[in-house]
Structure 1
């Protein structure tokens, strides 16, 4: 089942969603059956027993919830499923609707299956609007549950495969990174492979896409149901009964909850999506990925020696910074989103640092601190007698613990902008962490040094204080118009509102860099780049926006080639771009590295996906 079925439904009109419901149910019933026929059909379906059992469980719970909600809705739910079984009865395991469908997914073939399918659509169309909405919501929630069953089964299979993997081999069969690394070792030797490994970077970018408009409230319910499903195999007796009661409670709430927010989120509120993903996966999972690589490559030494895996994961975001065609994203919004990311990230690190510190209960007599650590402690005493007195009271004769607790207090001061005690950059915090790590390693506490302390080091190296790197984007035409306006009226003249907004955007980038670090806002993307002049325009606007040269932010100006003709001419544009003095100056600062973006969306619209893919391939070559 497609993971985005429910999201797609939530963004369609009720009639469109109703037709889509019928189309997806048509595929679904091949695998799970319906009402009176459920148990018999499920027994016949050639899918793994665990997956089949979970689907049957969720079907039973969904029906119970719908019966309690409205018996008529429950009856309609069963009728639609049963009707779809009739549609598929003549050809079980396949879906004739897949062969000839209209743009809403409704079969167009003139055959018995298509006729029966149309009857299902007509049934839904005959319902009053409020009933249609509830039916769509019922199936939307059921699709979420069906997807959960599949995800649960996939995770179980991965764990089973993991349990059967031999750690005697050098390569982790479930981790392509180790496979690639050992191939490099064979081709280039250990030194050459490690040199390439250190250059590895993975930079996924989050966007606020309208077809992914699933509410946080819905996400939370799905996550809780997923956790309940995962713990079921370990339960029995009253615990299992209680587990099912909680499932019914969450499914009932899911059915009654609107799948999309009742008001459109602001760009600042959209940033919460990234924060939710960060809290529930990225912050804790990314160090586990690094550790997994070390476990297979370093073997028993992993966690007791300096790590081999670099922090190669550095996420970006267009939320709150992509203003191409979105008037709601302003300079003010970008500043607010940056502050939101920064505050959340630093407080997250404070909590992690404090947790690690509390557990570093190594007594100084048996785990002697290094001279470097003692010097760090003395520096902390000079900086804040209050912080150190509190830490010393809690951690007498436990210097590593005391130092980490003061570091946590300094992180809190960083959020509150207390100049005397705050960290002025993530690198400054990293320096202190490495002092603690080296001291622990020197006194023999290598598992603490390269275990929990290394974990937070990886987290800081991956996310810094910024959490995500904001990427600013604007259309090349907007820049050209803004420059024309400034040249005609002067930077302090009577300028158009859009020109003012362009200037304010560059000033916001400068402010973000000064306050939160250059990594948070250094990428500036030009939509519809058609010439080197479009790149020169951005650098000129950045300089015109500031009275003093030292205030101009450092920018990596990224041309985005999207349309077919732009892809075909991009190499010539890049050749011309490299002749610009401002570009040469920036290349000298970036070790001759430059970023270019190729777009597939507009090129596909221009020339179709096949031609666009060929153009993208040629452009990359």
Structure 2
């Protein structure tokens, strides 16, 4: 097949991009950014780089659009023809392109959100908390709806699971480009300003191109803590109170901001970063202490700055806004403890009592941060009490808009984040606890591991004493298989402090991960609530209990279909048990970013949960690239929180619970057939002799361990002879990189085929939220696969039987998903998502071909020869690029 002429190539690319209905302004952003990248490649790349990038780009678009073997072979030949050094540059160029394309798409989302803010009447009834409240009130009455709104809780927990392939330096550069793109748009009416903005974007893209895309070494747990802090500093600290404000504005109308808000703070942010030590030897008790200290430093600095800013603007004189007696007394107390500062403030603001008090409060927050014992607040409640005095005084002085304006936002921030910012959670494997207890019971000398485990409990006690009980106290037990696994935590806490010490206050959370553990969960819970220490804590909390469900290991255990059905069944049984036992249950969902790990749109997943399993409370893990996709930009973060919280509010509505309950009963036979047949098909693959080493051969699983993604090791052991010790993250990540995405869909085609009744399955897709969510997620997963590229990866192994099994199931699943969802192709019923996937796919193909070239060469090298470092680097560059292109990778 001949190579197209430059004119033909330009026409091909133009037709391809025009064939997808990209909003005009987004098309302009992509055109601007890609044109500037082209200039950078010409100016800063080696001679001929731009032309080589274009050759491969045109070839992969041609191969994607006409799907002929000849077109695909030509794209392969071009990728193969590059020297390793040139392939390295080309991979970097495509990766930078993805970063810029993702940025343009994000910019368009922000644009749409801002336009929607001006048209609230267009909002969907399930799309915001305010609209969801109106719908709920229509079903249960205003009083009940208001009570549920006030008890609403959304609790994302940020983890350090390593699926974010970008360096922090790269992420920072992308954020700067985003800001400059907004400036460029704002300066559209001034040609000189726009040229200056374009020049600065060009310089930033040049910097992005020149920045090494791979981390030179794995980040430490402390590095990961600092990375997460950037999300709070740049987004969440200010975005969360804006969410509350938006809801209150919608519910109270023109009275909003002039009277007490209806909404209560419903967001709580957790973190495993610096606390999750399950299989990560680099997370120590010292790390946990440091993580808490870093988080507290960030939130106190934020509160200090906010209080100072608000105080400076509160220029209300004593005549128009007289202070209450309580505020006058507060001024005297604050003045007595900080005399010099009080004298200076009083001199500048002699007749502005509320301003004077708030500026001294800001000083007191600063003293808390610097640990000035004479001036510091003892805890966040003491700060809230002072702010409440100021607020009441303003209300009494007939200045309610100042009482419930910016001051209310500060109060919301303190209520949400306290002095700790994140509620740090500790996680450890049940087997470690059993080993340590056995050693302690034997009376043998204490080993280094045992001392470290005990020191973790001392660290939790220290954090609670210094930052408050909310700062730490949740202790998650991985692979909980018995009530004794949970009781072990309380026993170890007592060992840690000795007979005369006071153990930390602990909420012990079981994590049920495997298929068998999920089935055993209700029985284990029924037993543990009778254990004295567990029962005592249950009574202290008003019989509140958290139970965590693992999505990733259950999916690796029995396949994605059976795992989803088992998770639903486990939730239903646990929720029913909790209701009977009078327990307020919060289910903690260990969802990952990838579809094979329970990923996908969180709000639709919430609405598909069993009756009584949500009840206004939703907690889930957020990780890797998903953290920055959902919370890295303020407008998107606000929208995500609002959408998920709306779903949480509506999940317990009578209509939603009745729909889910009725569908589960009506399609119980379908579920049973799908469970049985999908598991059998999955086992046919993963239990085949030699499957594990074959998997390691046909995917870059081994090489992913070389990528400095995070501090956490890729697997618990050293062997790839068994999947037992392989973590779910590389299991999913490796299949994704091979463009197979097997962890997200394998077995569904066989399951649907076993049911066989297409009309009934179509009806089930419409009526049964669980099936619809499962099929929609599989459709997205399959849309990101590529059968031709998948075949090339599968050819790296010597097992045609396993390769054919994968390809047959892929084809069968694709066929059934298209038939059930309609439209003739994947994602036809989700055009915006389909457009995003299709626009990226040819460019991902280019990186996949470069990755295949490197992987094939590494596999063909003699086993006893050292790996070629240039090939390894090319492979890792392509891994980073594919992750950027596919987005939800792990």
Q: TM-score, normalised by structure 2?
A: 0.61
CA deviation map 1:307-360 (0-9, x unaligned): 111111111011000000000000011111111111111111111111111111
Aligned with 1:163 (options 115, 118, 122):
118
Write the distance in 1 (CA, Å) between the matches of 2:553 and 2:101: 34
- 1:533-612 paired onto structure 2 within 5 Å: 533-547=484-498, 551-612=502-563
Aligned with 2:82 (options 103, 118, 127):
127
Counterpart of 2:185 in structure 1 is 233
- Per-residue deviation, 1:401: 0.8
- Per-residue deviation, 1:500: 0.6
- Per-residue deviation, 1:56: 1.7
Return 464-473 or 206-215, whichever deviates more. Answer: 206-215
Contact in 1 for aligned 2:240/2:267 (Cα 8 Å): yes
Write the distance in 1 (CA, Å) between the matches of 2:265 and 2:214: 36
Q: For 2:48, what is the secondary structure of its paired residue?
A: helix
Aligned with 2:297 (options 343, 346, 365):
343
Matched, 1:87 2:39: no
CA deviation map 1:75-101 (0-9, x unaligned): 1111111212332453xxxxx4xxxxx
- Per-residue deviation, 1:549: 5.3
- 1:207-222 paired onto structure 2 within 5 Å: 207-222=159-174
The alignment's C-alpha RMSD in Å is 1.9
Write the distance in 2 (CA, Å) between the matches of 1:548 and 1:342: 31
- Per-residue deviation, 1:594: 0.5
Aligned with 2:435 (options 464, 477, 481):
481
Aligned with 1:252 (options 198, 206, 210):
206
Contact in 1 for aligned 2:125/2:135 (Cα 8 Å): no
Counterpart of 1:267 in structure 2 is 221
Return 190-199 or 63-72, whichever deviates more. Answer: 190-199
CA deviation map 1:240-296 (0-9, x unaligned): 111110111111111111223222111011111211111111011111110110111
Counterpart of 1:146 in structure 2 is 101
Counterpart of 2:470 in structure 1 is 519
Contact in 2 for aligned 1:472/1:525 (Cα 8 Å): yes
Contact in 1 for aligned 2:379/2:419 (Cα 8 Å): yes
Matched, 1:325 2:279: yes
Contact in 2 for aligned 1:471/1:521 (Cα 8 Å): yes
Cα distance change of structure 1 residues 43 and 495 upon mapping to structure 2, 3 Å threshold: closer
- 1:467-478 paired onto structure 2 within 5 Å: 467-478=421-432
Structure 2: gaps (5+ residues): 1-7, 573-890
Counterpart of 2:31 in structure 1 is 56
Matched, 1:299 2:274: no
Contact in 1 for aligned 2:387/2:411 (Cα 8 Å): yes
Matched, 1:203 2:178: no
Return 275-284 or 154-163, whichever deviates more. Answer: 154-163
Write the distance in 2 (CA, Å) between the matches of 1:34 and 1:350: 57
Counterpart of 2:389 in structure 1 is 435
Matched, 1:619 2:570: yes
Cα distance change of structure 1 residues 598 and 400 upon mapping to structure 2, 3 Å threshold: same
Write the distance in 2 (CA, Å) between the matches of 1:410 and 1:460: 14
- Per-residue deviation, 1:43: 4.9
Contact in 2 for aligned 1:172/1:178 (Cα 8 Å): no
Cα distance change of structure 1 residues 174 and 397 upon mapping to structure 2, 3 Å threshold: farther
> What is the total number of aligned residue pairs between the two structures?
562
Cα distance change of structure 1 residues 174 and 186 upon mapping to structure 2, 3 Å threshold: closer
Write the distance in 2 (CA, Å) between the matches of 1:34 and 1:223: 32
Aligned with 2:135 (options 180, 183, 191):
183
Larger RCO, structure (CA 8 Å, separation 6 or more): 2
Write the distance in 1 (CA, Å) between the matches of 2:82 and 2:13: 25
CA deviation map 1:84-129 (0-9, x unaligned): 2332453xxxxx4xxxxxxxxxxxxxxx2x4422432332233233
Contact in 2 for aligned 1:172/1:296 (Cα 8 Å): no
Cα distance change of structure 1 residues 86 and 381 upon mapping to structure 2, 3 Å threshold: closer
Contact in 1 for aligned 2:487/2:531 (Cα 8 Å): yes
Q: For 1:203, what is the secondary structure of its paired residue?
A: strand
Write the distance in 2 (CA, Å) between the matches of 1:35 and 1:245: 25
Matched, 1:444 2:434: no
Write the distance in 2 (CA, Å) between the matches of 1:457 and 1:403: 15
Cα distance change of structure 1 residues 590 and 475 upon mapping to structure 2, 3 Å threshold: same
Counterpart of 1:66 in structure 2 is 41
Q: TM-score, normalised by structure 1?
A: 0.87
- 1:346-365 paired onto structure 2 within 5 Å: 346-365=300-319
CA deviation map 1:552-575 (0-9, x unaligned): 110000000001100001000000
Contact in 2 for aligned 1:34/1:81 (Cα 8 Å): no
Counterpart of 1:78 in structure 2 is 54
Aligned with 1:505 (options 443, 449, 456):
456
Write the distance in 2 (CA, Å) between the matches of 1:192 and 1:43: 51
- 1:285-434 paired onto structure 2 within 5 Å: 285-434=239-388
Structure 1: gaps (5+ residues): 1-32, 91-95, 97-111
Write the distance in 1 (CA, Å) between the matches of 2:132 and 2:24: 35
Write the distance in 2 (CA, Å) between the matches of 1:341 and 1:586: 26
- 1:449-468 paired onto structure 2 within 5 Å: 449-468=403-422
Write the distance in 2 (CA, Å) between the matches of 1:45 and 1:580: 60
CA deviation map 1:397-418 (0-9, x unaligned): 1111111111111111112211
Write the distance in 1 (CA, Å) between the matches of 2:499 and 2:413: 35
Contact in 2 for aligned 1:165/1:173 (Cα 8 Å): no
